[in-house]
Amino acid sequence: MFTGLVEETGDILALGRSGDGARLTVRAPLVSRDVRLGDSVAVNGCCLTVTAQDGETLAFDLLDETLARTNLNQLAPGAPVNLERALAAHARLGGHFVQGHIDTTSRVLAFEQVKADHRLEIALPGEFARYVAFKGSIAIDGISLTVAEVRAESFVVWIIPHTLAMTNLRAKKAADLVNLEFDLLAKYVERVLSVRGA
């Protein structure tokens, strides 16, 4: 479980294909100080297991499912990725509950500066539209954000300067692919209502 509060942006060093998956290697100066083999780390919001560590370098093994469902397979060496260690039981919950289970990827439609802030508009696939609500929570590349506007085929969030500086959003542009995880509570509410209606 994560909070969607990014601790640092790491740099992709390599993505090597092997058999039915791949190995992702990331430089992570901060996060690497306090992780061990087997620990969970959210990489662009995707919960991955640390399978190797060498100083500031962490490695993760990716299944085909992970490669198909996330944007990790499209990122080149040098690309920044958002990193967050798993939530400790005694820690403050500053964002929202993020599982690290990516629901889908989607394209950035517009990313523009408006005064000190940035307006980010992302395409909203129709099959997931029911999970997005005005002022609701959403994780974009693992970043906990608040939905400011829901449109017919997209949604909008606003990015403050601190978030821009501390995450990979500073490198994003229109047409880039981002990972989306929709609010866990919305999914459970839908499930409860569907069971009751059965």
Beta bridge partners of 187: none
**What's residue 40's pLDDT?**
98
**What's residue 89's pLDDT?**
80
Are 32 and 1 spatial neighbours (Cβ–Cβ below 8 Å)?
Answer: no
Q: What is the mean pLDDT of each run of 10 residues along the chain (198 residues)?
A: 96 90 96 96 98 97 94 95 92 88 98 98 97 97 98 98 98 98 88 79
SS (H, E, C) the chain: CECCCCCEEEEEEEEEEECCEEEEEEECCCHHHHCCCCCEEEECCEEEEEEEEECCEEEEEEEHHHHHHCCHHHCCCCCEEEEEECCCCCCCCCCCCECCCCCEEEEEEEEEEECCEEEEEEECCHHHHHHCCCCCEEEECCEEEEEEEECCCEEEEEECHHHHHHCHHHHCCCCCEEEEEECHHHHHHHHHHHHHHC
Query: In terms of Cα–Cα distance, which of 163, 177, 50 is closest to 117?
Result: 163
Other CB atoms closer than 10 Å to residue 153's CB: what's the count? 10
Q: Which residue's entry shows tokens 């620990």? A: 39
Rounded CA separation 136/132 (Å) = 7
Are 138 and 155 spatial neighbours (Cβ–Cβ below 8 Å)?
Answer: yes
**What's residue 133's pLDDT?**
95
Q: Is the pTM of this model over 0.85?
A: yes
Query: In terms of Cα–Cα distance, which of 148, 187, 184, 140 is closest to 164?
Result: 140
Structure tokens at 80: 């920044």
**What's residue 198's pLDDT?**
56
**What's residue 88's pLDDT?**
85
